[in-house]
Structure 1
């Protein structure tokens, strides 16, 4: 079996065309390989504008939730409400998540350097994993405290609980609509949006606890409903930790299968006889990468096969960042 380096010296036509396919990009790989993408200055400018808008929306939501969190802490301590303290704790973690999302946007703007060839894109994944673990620990604490409250009931000031909880719901609704107006394709934005949605449910639980206490005097409603909030926190924490941990462990992204990719390339590209050494992973939630080795039919043009494979990976699997090694059986 003969091996060929995939980056062969281009012919005169390729030498003439290559500079046209490398415009406005700072990536370390050759964008002549990205057939069918049609990146342009207008596209890059639009992406920058979208990122700036998302960053601004996340900052507004972070300020809103962070400011009201202190009001909830004070109200929880004064009223004796665990539900309010639980919602404040949830709001604290969500404010932290919003800040991390903002930092993620800022770091993503920094270019790669010799020490970090992929730049700082993974920082938000590491932060998300840390945040997920903290959410799980927070949920455990809320449940533990609720058990103690049920065993040793504490007098709760229903009126103050109601006032602060209603204020929290209003703030969360405003933050929700601020984020809801952002990009629907931005997973970072969608994650922040769902955090605020969880806060809204926490505020509703606190309002329900206040209503029950004011109407019936049943103090157990407060710790019981705080456990419901803890359940929301726990589910969010497990989901975030699992997804970010999968990325940090370089697990195969959802929707990608080595067997499916190999079968598709063999069926769609006649010059490909076999595919091996397929490794797919993700740098972030949205940036997926793949490396693989392709065996070409005898006599096939190595460079043409390589370009066809990269184009097919981009078209069929949304894998625009691919490293493809092509080998050919001897004639």
Structure 2
């Protein structure tokens, strides 16, 4: 099998020696080419070329969720197709939400062992993905989440800290979330974002809007964060929002999204956070988030600047993944 290994040399949790060991293990089973990324977007360029020339059967992303997202967007530059190379992931970032949502070990060596076993047994799955669309800008595929508003603002603050030399850790995310909560006092009371779903009344006043393609949305260490517990790679998209972020209400919602959820006994009721200011929808194919003013936007934990209007669609069976 012909394979391209896309390596992010700045991956948080893998050393050069570890990457060499993983490369050697993969090369023992694959006709492997190795490409090391050198700039933002390089992983996407490499995957796009592999999909266009038909030279590869498999593209393996070794890095964090940002590297995986770039590879996915490169593979799907011209949309889903049966002819596309399959995707495999070796986690090397600080959180690795996508890999862990697929059930892969968080350790890159263990994950490589699972990948080799899956290749040997022909194990793969077709997964749904989300696509975010903004007029005048390229569409952006996402594997596990997107957001417009408060959560994306936290991602932006973390990226600023990382550019100044801070290491990406869960503590850094928590600290920046608390700081963002303090500075966003006005928006916490009256959010600028409106959710528009065809056939439903618009839901306005959203402070936070999280779109999930799977669950968990992210992790705090080994603890999953579950704003939309029913989201999965077999359905369309889930939407979770908050219309008012009071200290008591926000603490209550955080407790809810950090605890395991069991299926509801009420017909038609999805598990997950509840409350006066909580908005939740499951398995939605198309919808739009509209803001009264430009607000931060993120996909798969990558801050993409401010947006005023983003449309979303869920795409079933968009990509084949080796698991």
**TM-score computed with the length of structure 2 as normaliser:** 0.21
Q: Larger helix proportion, structure 1 or 2?
A: 1
Task: Please report the TM-score for the alignment, with normalisation by the length of structure 1.
Answer: 0.21
